[in-house]
A and B are shown apart, each in its own frame.
Chain A
Amino acid sequence: QLEEEKDEDSFDMEVAVTNPEKIGKEYFFLTIFELMNRTFSVWRRFSDFLGLYEKLSVKHSLNGCIIPPPPEKSVVGMTKVKVGKDDSSSADFVERRRAALERYLQRVVCHPSLLQDPDVREFLERDELPRAVGTHTLSGAGFLKMINRASDAVSKMTIKISDSDAWFDNKLQEVESEELQLRKLHAVVDSLVNHRKELCGNTAVFAKSMAMLGNSEDNTALSRALSQLAEVEDKMETLHQEQAASDFFILAELLADYIRLLGAVRGCFEQRMKTWQRWQEAQSTLQKKREVEAKLLWANKPDKLQQAKEEITEWEGKVTQYERDFDRISVTVRKEFLRFEKQKSKDFKSQIVKYLESLLQSQQRHVKFWEAFLPEAKAIA
């Protein structure tokens, strides 16, 4: 039984992705990182980030590493919320992308093994990166499709490897159930964002109609009060708009990130299963080779016997290698999972508190606006 590994992050690197600038058809982001009080920065394209993911996934996913999934390329993706206009020049869309890139990169540099990776180093240090190719399959929907296909294949096997495997079984079940709940939650938050945007629009329209009514009213004091009410509702509209932005950028995006991350976690577990399968298949191949050898001994064919002995040696080596691979990936997956859980707990807590604080600030302004209106209402005579 492995104990939870002690905290290894002695590197505390902070990243920021800022200053989106459109050069030609694409956006460049100023990527800033701070390590041990030294700050340096480079300009990176969106496709550079995707290219980084591709390189990392090719190298590390076979080890059972949880590679942070890349930000979504498509606007629609998982959400039905319209983030500004659909074209890439809208401010909301750019902000969404910028924030997603920042979170992605922060997760990469928080990972102790990935931070050491030369591709990550190159990403952080090199002045200009060559344009990444073939990244369209690896972002957003394409990525999810890959993960889902893999999990379909594996879930059809119900194998219990050993007693210690109960841990992996349980954790995988937890992950699947959590992913389901997060998807549900994300859909509701999506709905909330849309309803708040609707509320925003309807409040603005209502404010105007109140102002008109105030104009018609021939009692002076009442007329003034109605105009003031219209102004309060206008301020409410602003609050609703800001709230919808919080709902989306803090809450919805957090959930979307973790739905994708849980997909990546499932991918790791499935990778471990594949490794086990490979070992098992090698063992059965070895067994068959030994049976062949036995038959040849009986039939007394010395040439073929030599070849059979060579094959046996080859496969014995493979079996040993694959068993070692399986043990190693099991260790990695377990360690990765525990690190992930810790990070997830931290993330959720900090983001949700941030969200609640935004709600709090909104209510404070709510109070101010209505406090200002009350004397106006009382002044009607």
Chain B
Amino acid sequence: MLFDRPRAVNVDLQTDATLQVDISDALSERDKVKFTVHTKSTLPNFKQNEFSVVRQHEEFIWLHDSFVENEEYAGYIIPPAPPRPDFDASREKLQKLGEGEGSMTKEEFTKMKQELEAEYLAIFKKTVAMHEVFLCRVAAHPVLRKDMNFHVFLEYNQDLSVRGKNKREKMEDFFKNVVKSADGVLVAGVKDVDDFFEHEKTFLLEYHNRVKDASSKSDRMIRSHKNAADDINRIASTLYTLGTQDSTDVCKFFLKVSELFEKTRKIEARVAADEDLKLADLLKYYLRESQAAKDLLYRRGRALVDYENANKALDKARAKNKDVLQAETSQQVCCQKFEKISESAKQELIDFKTRRVAAFRKNLVELAELELKHAKGNLQLLQSCVGVLKGDT
């Protein structure tokens, strides 16, 4: 199913000619979504300059997890995995509508069906955008873009056979434990000598929590907005029924008002949809990104602990004059690991800030422009309708 959708807007990415990835098509089947991943590249690693493969959500997760597990990437913010496509709620509504077909008029049924289909399509577009953003982030990262698994993901045109649920569940458990202890390590850990990281730690802990809060509150607000728009829709329908009972003055009046409400509620629904796209999705994305940044700090914190322990072990070995060489080697490895992570982490966190500010700017500007556009649209509709109605009486 081909469709028209704008470029993913949650992140500010530089398009690079040497590697460009996008999702050119997507197909929604019974309980899965098939994404067509399209690559254009001048890199020598690939057999062709342009090619496409079909991937499902689990394969994206496999790729993401492989990054997380890779020790080499410990010093990078791993682009957050896209959320699972969730059409359950939408499908349920469509089913309920089908069951209730007998209890409403043909117009009401057609109207509701159109809306639910539009809702389904919107969710679909969103999930495509989120999967695309993930791939683009990887493609834009100077190190991750060279990853072998990434290239396999992009090029190998067979099934990656990663849909072992057990494996995924194990991954999830592992991460749950990591997250639980991560905050603890970050908070209870020794105050970092490095001011930069100390500041980042404090900042990210608070920021992440507040983004989480803002994200859930924005969802609730937008849902109320949608509910109000639905009510206006039903008001328009009932006014229409009243208006068609007769051809008196007041009936003609009802018809005009019904028409107005039909138009304004479309605008209200658009307002809710745009707030969802520009605000709620933005917050959700930075919830995931800030978690990924926290994970980075956690990994660095753990490397620091390992380093400190290796130092202690070395002192002990020297004191006892036993296994000193082994302890020295171990300490050196830990030191290198820690320093490597610290170096790249610093740059990653700075880049994160830059991306965040740019994304917020873009989305807030677009949000304001859309809100203005809709409010002006509504205003014009109301002004012209009131003018006509007052002129008639």
A interface vs B, CB < 8 Å? 174, 177-178, 181-182, 184-185, 188-189, 191-192, 195-196, 198-199, 202-203, 205-206, 209-210, 212-213, 215-219, 221-222, 225-226, 229, 341, 344-345, 348-350, 352-353, 356-357, 359-360, 363-364, 366-367, 370-371, 373-374, 377-378, 380-381
Contact = CB atoms under 8 A, between A and B. Distances in A.
Given A181-B238, A345-B250, A363-B378, A218 B203 contact: yes
Contacts of A380: 357, 360-361, 364
Interface in B192-230: 203, 206-207, 210-211, 213-214, 217-218, 220-221, 223-225, 227-228
A216 B210 contact: yes
B238 A206 contact: no
A195 B227 contact: yes
Nearest to B232: A192
Given A188-B234, A360-B382, A377-B365, A202 B211 contact: no
Contacts of A210: 214
Contacts of B214: 206, 209-210, 212-213
Nearest to B203: A218
19 contacts: A178-B245, A188-B235, A188-B238, A189-B231, A191-B234, A199-B228, A206-B220, A206-B221, A216-B203, A226-B360, A345-B248, A345-B250, A349-B250, A356-B386, A356-B389, A360-B383, A370-B368, A371-B372, A374-B369
Contacts of A348: 250, 253-254
A203 B211 CA distance: 16
Contacts of B81: none
A271 B227 CA distance: 43
A374 B127 CA distance: 29
Given A198-B224, A367-B379, A374-B372, A353 B245 contact: no
Nearest to B367: A377
A370 B245 contact: no
A210 B282 CA distance: 13
A248 to B, nearest CB: 13
B32 interface: no
Interface of B: 203, 206-207, 210-211, 213-214, 217-218, 220-221, 223-225, 227-228, 231-232, 234-235, 238-239, 241-242, 245-246, 248-250, 253-254, 257, 260, 264, 353, 356-357, 360-361, 364-365, 367-369, 371-372, 375-376, 378-379, 382-383, 385-386, 389-390, 393
A188 B368 contact: no
Contact of B224 (A189, A202, A219, A344): A202
B contact patch SS? helix
A356 B224 CA distance: 21
Given A188-B235, A202-B224, A174 B246 contact: yes
A212 B211 CA distance: 9
Contacts of B389: 349, 352-353, 356
Nearest to A344: B250
A380 B7 CA distance: 22
A216 B207 contact: yes
Contacts of B238: 181, 184-185, 188
B361 to A, nearest CB: 4
Nearest to B383: A360
A contact patch SS? helix
A198 B382 CA distance: 24
Which of B214, B248, B254 has the most A CB atoms < 10 Å from its CB?
Answer: B214
Contacts of B382: 356, 359-360, 363
Closest 8 CB pairs of A and B: A199-B224, A192-B231, A380-B361, A366-B375, A377-B364, A202-B221, A345-B250, A206-B217
Contacts of A213: 207, 210-211, 213-214
Contacts of A189: 231, 235
A283 to B, nearest CB: 36
Nearest to A373: B368
A209 B218 CA distance: 9
B242 A178 contact: yes
Contacts of B257: 352, 356
Contacts of A178: 242, 245
Nearest to A186: B238
Given A349-B250, A367-B372, A357 B210 contact: no
A273 B179 CA distance: 78
B365 A374 contact: yes
A353 B225 contact: no
A200 to B, nearest CB: 8
A350 B369 CA distance: 34
B231 A219 contact: no
Nearest to B212: A209
B365 to A, nearest CB: 5
A70 to B, nearest CB: 25
A221 to B, nearest CB: 8
A89 B293 CA distance: 54
Contact of A357 (B250, B386, B393): B386
A234 to B, nearest CB: 12
A229 B361 CA distance: 12
B390 A377 contact: no
A244 B383 CA distance: 20
Contacts of A226: 360
B364 A196 contact: no
B235 A374 contact: no
Given A349-B250, A363-B382, A191 B207 contact: no
A191 B368 contact: no
A350 B253 CA distance: 11
Contacts of A381: 357, 361
A371 B257 CA distance: 28
Nearest to B272: A199
A221 B260 CA distance: 40
A363 B375 contact: yes
Contacts of B393: 349-350, 353
Which of B223, B225, B245, B368 has the most A CB atoms < 10 Å from its CB?
Answer: B368
B365 A174 contact: no
A364 B368 CA distance: 15
B386 A353 contact: yes
